[in-house]
Structure 1
Amino acid sequence: MSSDPTDAPTPAPPSATARNGPAVSREEFDALFAAVRTWGRWAPADRGAWNRVSADHVRRATALVRSGTVVALARPWDTAPGPDNSKPALHYLSDLGDVEPPEPSTHKDFIGTDYHGKGVSHLDALSHIAYRGQLYDGGTARELVGAGGARFGDVSALGPLVTKGVLLDLPAVLGTSWLEPGQAVRAADVAAAEEALGVEIGEGDAVLLRVGRFRRRRELGAWDLDASSAGLHVEAVPLLAERGIALLGGDGDSDVRPSPVEGLHSPVHALAVAAMGVPLLDNLDLETLSATAAGTGRYEFLLVVAPLDIPGGTGSPVNPVAVF
């Protein structure tokens, strides 16, 4: 069970403020979707933007390893229900070694999770998101995803990823402990973070956005992230598309909430996964990564992401590893 204080009184997070700008209409969003779309660009299509990462990218990323410091990015397996964990993970012992003979005795576990949510660190594959009924590359979601799994864009198609990771540590840049729920990160904030942290997002990179969710959670308690969370405004996505990123992730799920787009609860998901073919990493605990980056003065590193090989799966629980 997680040691986070989820049973503490839950503070009411503030709603989105006027500084996040006016609402984005569906017409404006659809134009943005078309502008960043990469359909028809790669083969195999269901690896999406991971096709950008070549052997040269991997070699350049491994050159970032200097001290050999390894930082795991997953949060603990959370079996405690809470405002941000409506479907807690399961864990119990299925064998307690109490049957004799033979020797040696064994102890076995069962684990299970409905991992798409706010409780488990996980990867979203390209079959996870459809917009206007279409998956990435234009296939019809109802024809390609059913009760037996996905026939396009499953997590098995992705395989492991080894590339350069870039940490955009917004609280470190702003001199705060965290971004308040509802605060949007815009394109100008991304560019300012690059300059302040001495990094430059390039083709094939994995971008990790820290808003300080887990520091706030540990100090103030859990809250409902579906109602209010810091994250990217859709206005920031074209910059990431222009840079040619391969992966986007963070300590939230990348989207600011309440959503700035009328009628869409997760517009960054739609742009990244369904338009750009960029898988997402959700619910990473980036606090140790933040401290390590600050201590070394380096906000780029080797990143290794190895999802489970689940044929037909729309994603996977995952423990990404950063190496400095």
Structure 2
Amino acid sequence: MRLDELLNVMRSSKKYDLEQIRYPNMPAFDPVKPGLLYFLYRHHESYYNPDHDGPRTSASGLIIMSDQTGTHIDALCHQASDLKLSVGVKVTPEIETPWGFTKGGAEELPLIVARGVLIDVASVYQDPLPENSMISLEQVKKTLEVQGTTVERGDVVLVRTGYGKYWNDEEKYRRAAGVSKEVSSWLARTGPVAVGSDNLAWDLPSFKDPETHSSLPGHLLLIAERGIPIIENVRLEELAKDKVYQFLLIGFPLKFKGATGTPLRPVAIVP
């Protein structure tokens, strides 16, 4: 395909913005609060001196946030199993430094260009799903059957709980359903390049796996053991409304050296 043909396809395609808006006091998992602080410290009015500097002025702000808030993707250093990262190294002071990780940091995350698959469980069962419930493998497989879609190696798999619509209501958003361990295990075997959901933590934060004694077992299975990143707080309402279950997904991780995660700008494109 020539460049002009590719540009024509892209221009005529529908684009879906999958990033939630970032704002102070946006929803955040308790260990990583505050989600965002923003300070406008340089003001136009303070610098306006037209006789000396002409008409132009500048304003600047300071952003303070965790690397685990907003629409973001987890780096592989974010999770470990028995103090071992999925990149094959033990966690030591040389790997885990006060200034970030020397292996598996966010700067190593590749640009995402892959087939995206939406598994809209909420639309098939209950929208939104029951509060603090867990999505079973049976529900996922039934949803795929209803949609007429499949999950293949190399996909980015996005699971919709229906709670993305409550992004501006933290109390409600925090009660979102989560993805069960059995679903994470099944996906880990399938081999996606990444998975994601419209909730805070992919998993159900209140659940503790009786087998491994771990909370967030999906993080253990997917990131620590298989090296599959998790994308959290994904905006999926427009895709669900239009019943778009397959699309080209392009995602741009920011290259923060040594960070445990990074903001992601994911876009779904449908020709």
Coarse TM-score class (shorter-chain normalised):
0.7 to 0.9
> Whose strand fraction is larger, Structure 1's or Structure 2's?
2
Q: RMSD in angstroms over aligned alpha carbons?
A: 2.4
Q: Give the direction of change, closer, same or farther, for the CA distance of 1:74–1:217 in structure 2 (3 Å limit).
A: closer
- Equivalent residue in structure 1 for 2:263, among 286, 292, 317: 317
TM-score, structure 1 normalization: 0.71
Map Cα deviations across residues 136-157 of structure 1 (whole Å, 9 max, x no partner): 1431123412211111111111
Shift of 1:81: 6.4
Map Cα deviations across residues 29-82 of structure 1 (whole Å, 9 max, x no partner): xxxxxxxxxxxxxxxxxxxxxxxxxxxxxxxxx9x9795111111111120266
| SS of 1:178 mapped into structure 2 | coil
Residue of structure 2 equivalent to 1:149: 100
Confirm whether residue 188 of structure 1 aligns to residue 138 of structure 2: yes
State the distance in 1 between where 2:74 and 2:120 align: 22
Q: Structure 1, unaligned stretches of length 5 or more?
A: 1-61
- Equivalent residue in structure 2 for 1:111, among 56, 59, 63: 63
Q: Give the direction of change, closer, same or farther, for the CA distance of 1:211–1:266 in structure 2 (3 Å limit).
A: same
- Equivalent residue in structure 1 for 2:184, among 207, 228, 237: 237
State the distance in 2 between where 1:140 and 1:223 align: 38
| SS of 2:228 mapped into structure 1 | coil
Poorly superposed stretches of 4+, deviation over 6 Å: none
Alignment check: 8 A CA contact 1:187 1:235 kept: yes
Alignment check: 8 A CA contact 2:26 2:167 kept: no
Amino acid at match of 2:268: A
What pairs with 1:1-324 in structure 2 (closer than 5 Å)? Answer: 68-80=13-25, 86-98=33-45, 99=47, 100=49, 101-103=52-54, 104-117=56-69, 120-143=70-93, 144-174=95-125, 176-216=126-166, 222-223=171-172, 225=174, 229-252=176-199, 253-262=201-210, 263-292=213-242, 294=243, 298-324=244-270
State the distance in 2 between where 1:166 and 1:65 align: 19
Alignment check: 8 A CA contact 2:136 2:179 kept: yes
Alignment check: 8 A CA contact 1:173 1:197 kept: no
Alignment check: 8 A CA contact 2:115 2:155 kept: yes
Q: Give the direction of change, closer, same or farther, for the CA distance of 1:264–1:166 in structure 2 (3 Å limit).
A: same
Map Cα deviations across residues 226-273 of structure 1 (whole Å, 9 max, x no partner): xx5412111122321232111010111210242140332211011110
Shift of 1:109: 2.1
Q: Give the direction of change, closer, same or farther, for the CA distance of 1:82–1:279 in structure 2 (3 Å limit).
A: closer
Q: Give the direction of change, closer, same or farther, for the CA distance of 1:76–1:210 in structure 2 (3 Å limit).
A: same
Map Cα deviations across residues 192-226 of structure 1 (whole Å, 9 max, x no partner): 111111211111100001101133566x762483x
TM-score, structure 2 normalization: 0.84
Alignment check: 8 A CA contact 1:230 1:257 kept: no
Q: Give the direction of change, closer, same or farther, for the CA distance of 1:66–1:276 in structure 2 (3 Å limit).
A: farther
Alignment check: 8 A CA contact 1:215 1:287 kept: yes
Aligned length: 252
Q: Percent identity?
A: 26
Shift of 1:178: 0.7
